[in-house]
């Protein structure tokens, strides 16, 4: 018995030493330097994290756990989310929320102000009315649109900083964080990767990309810029990015057709209808994904000229604008960093 005991102790010590020597006990095995990758459906989209270092199962669990937590707090499609609680108390009461939700609403309100309400986190009543992306999508009546439009105003989203609580001033108002929550999710995944000593990774939350660190050889990542006319994964060109996010908003993904007309999911809060301008898509390149997500939606609604004006004004963001007639415009910070590869498009400089 004593001998057996000693063997067990010796074995345990050996395993412990091996674990310490290899850095971590449960690293996922990598083949030929390929990344380790996990995909889940979360935040209403397909989310993939690809890590190009030795990584443990635990890092992925933490990252996807955080994304699920954000979804549970901020979705308007999940009962009992904090955003649903705020919406059901509209016109009645403040609702205390988590730091995550408070931060996203605060940042969302900031970008609503910055874009003079072209991006507006209180767009909820119009989004619900149109139901784009669901089987109930239909063109509403003029009267319905007018009624809902009168409820949209980010100035009526009241934040109590010390209590971390939020109130919507008018009954019927609704927050919709669909244009910003994925960006926050990507930033939070980056924080988790940092804390876990990961150096090289690509996070892709349904086209909301974060190029974390560099490629393993130290050069920037090459990120494909979505072709707005084709399904996800078709590119018009390549942008170089390191520790930067590339976030795309466009007409290509969520839409429905009625009487031969296409209606997509980015709404102009001023008119109550899907945006119709000369833009097919926009990609924002920035350090912060929550900023890029809001800005991609904002710039899309603003249109080419005002959109470029807004992005040029900001220090930490650049953009690629793609028009319906296949012209591509880039902001000044991207000169030399964007390479148009699709000959159906023309780069205007």
Using CB positions, name the residue nearest to ligand ADP: 178
Q: Residue 267 gets which letter from DSSP?
A: B
Candidate segments 59-67, 84-92, 259-267, 293-301, binder of Mg ion by CB under 5 A: 293-301
Q: Measured between alpha carbons, how far is 284 from 293 in angstroms, rounded to an integer?
A: 8
Candidate list 87, 245, 297, 331; residue touching Mg ion; CB under 5 A = 297
Report if residue 119 touches ligand ADP, rule: CB under 6 A.
yes
Nearest to 124 by CA among 155, 148, 107: 148
134 carries a ligand binding annotation: no
Site for Mg ion in 177-196 (CB under 5 A): 179
- Supply φ then ψ for residue 265, to 5 degrees: -95, 5
Give the contact letters, 224-263, x = binds to Mg ion (CB under 5 A), - = no: ----------------------------------------
176 carries a ligand binding annotation: no
Candidate list 226, 283, 289, 297; residue touching ligand ADP; CB under 6 A = 297
Nearest-approach distance from CB 289 to Mg ion, in angstroms? 10
Q: Which does 266 bind (CB under 5 to 8 A by kind): ligand ADP, Mg ion, none?
A: ligand ADP
Q: Measured between alpha carbons, how far is 189 from 236 in angstroms, rounded to an integer?
A: 27
Q: At a CB cut-off of 8 Å and minimum separation 6, what does 27 contact?
A: 54, 55, 56
Q: Which residues pair with 307 in a beta bridge?
A: none
Candidate list 282, 293, 300, 330; residue touching Mg ion; CB under 5 A = 293
Q: Residue 138 gets which letter from DSSP?
A: -
Q: At a CB cut-off of 8 Å and minimum separation 6, what does 220 contact?
A: 211, 214, 240, 241, 242
Report if residue 265 touches ligand ADP, rule: CB under 6 A.
yes
Report if residue 307 touches Mg ion, rule: CB under 5 A.
no
Q: Measured between alpha carbons, how far is 267 from 174 in angstroms, rounded to an integer?
A: 15
Nearest to 291 by CA among 175, 182, 165, 166: 182
93 carries a ligand binding annotation: no
What residues make contact with ligand ADP under the rule CB under 6 A? 119-120, 123, 127, 176, 178-179, 207, 249, 253-254, 265-267, 269, 293, 296-297, 301
What residues make contact with Mg ion under the rule CB under 5 A? 179, 293, 296-297
């Amino acid at each position: 018995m004593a001998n057996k005991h000693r063997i067990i102790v010796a074995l345990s010590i050996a395993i412990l030493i091996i674990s310490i020597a290899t850095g971590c006990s449960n690293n996922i095995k990598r083949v030929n330097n390929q990344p380790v990758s996990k995909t889940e459906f979360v935040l209403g989209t397909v989310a993939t994290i690809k890590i190009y270092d030795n990584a443990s199962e635990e890092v992925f669990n933490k990252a996807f756990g955080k994304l699920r937590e954000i979804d549970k707090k901020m979705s308007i499609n999940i009962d009992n989310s904090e955003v649903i609680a705020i919406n059901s108390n509209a016109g009645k009461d403040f609702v205390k929320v988590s730091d995550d939700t408070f931060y996203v609403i605060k940042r969302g309100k900031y970008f609503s102000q910055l874009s003079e309400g072209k991006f507006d986190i209180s767009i909820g009543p119009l989004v619900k009315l149109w139901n784009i992306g669901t089987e109930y999508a239909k063109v509403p009546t003029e009267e319905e649109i007018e009624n809902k439009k009168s409820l949209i105003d980010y100035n009526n989203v009241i934040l109590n900083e010390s209590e971390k609580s939020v109130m919507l001033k008018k009954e019927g108002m609704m927050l919709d964080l669909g244009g910003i929550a994925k960006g926050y999710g990507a930033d939070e995944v980056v924080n988790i990767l940092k804390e876990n000593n990961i150096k090289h990774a690509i996070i892709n939350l349904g086209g909301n990309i974060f190029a974390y660190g560099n490629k393993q050889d130290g050069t920037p990542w090459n990120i494909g810029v979505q072709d707005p006319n084709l399904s996800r994964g078709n590119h018009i060109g390549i942008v170089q990015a390191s520790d930067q996010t590339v976030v795309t908003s466009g007409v290509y993904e969520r839409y429905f057709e009625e009487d031969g007309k296409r209606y997509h999911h980015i709404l102009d809060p001023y008119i109550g209808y899907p945006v119709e301008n000369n833009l097919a898509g926009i990609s924002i390149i920035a350090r912060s994904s929550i900023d890029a997500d809001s800005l991609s939606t904002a710039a899309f609604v603003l249109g080419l000229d005002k959109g470029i004006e807004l992005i040029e004004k900001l220090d930490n963001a650049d953009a690629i604008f793609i028009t319906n007639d296949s012209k591509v415009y880039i902001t000044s910070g991207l000169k030399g960093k964007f390479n148009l590869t699709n000959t159906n498009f023309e780069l205007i400089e």
